[in-house]
Amino acid sequence: MNNKPKFLADAMLGNIARKLRLLGFDCKYFATINHDQLLLIAKIENRILVTKDRNITNICKKQNISVIDLSNTDETSQIVEIYKKTNLNKCKIDMNDVRCTICNGIVQSIEKEKITSRIPDKVAQNMQQFWICNSCNQIYWEGTHIRNLQKFIDEVNERL
Q: Does the pLDDT at position 31 exceed 90?
A: yes
Domain boundaries in the chain?
Answer: 7-85, 107-159
pTM for this predicted structure: 0.94
Q: pLDDT digits over 93-125, tens only? A: 888 899 999 999 999 999 999 999 999 999 999
The answer to whether residues 32 and 10 touch, using CB atoms and an 8 Å cutoff, is no
The confidence score (pLDDT) of residue 1 equals 43
The confidence score (pLDDT) of residue 93 equals 87
- Per DSSP (E only), the strands in 2-65 are 7-9, 27-29, 48-51
Q: pLDDT digits over 63-97, tens only? A: 999 999 999 999 999 999 999 999 998 999 888 89
Decide: helix, strand or coil at residue 99.
strand
Q: Does the pLDDT at position 8 exceed 80?
A: yes
User: What CATH number labels 7-85?
Assistant: 3.40.50
From residue 124, how far is each of 108, 113, 118, 129, 146 by CA, in Å?
Answer: 18, 9, 10, 10, 17
Q: Average per-residue pLDDT in the chain?
A: 95
Q: pLDDT digits over 47-64, tens only? A: 999 999 999 999 999 999
The confidence score (pLDDT) of residue 2 equals 57
The confidence score (pLDDT) of residue 143 equals 86
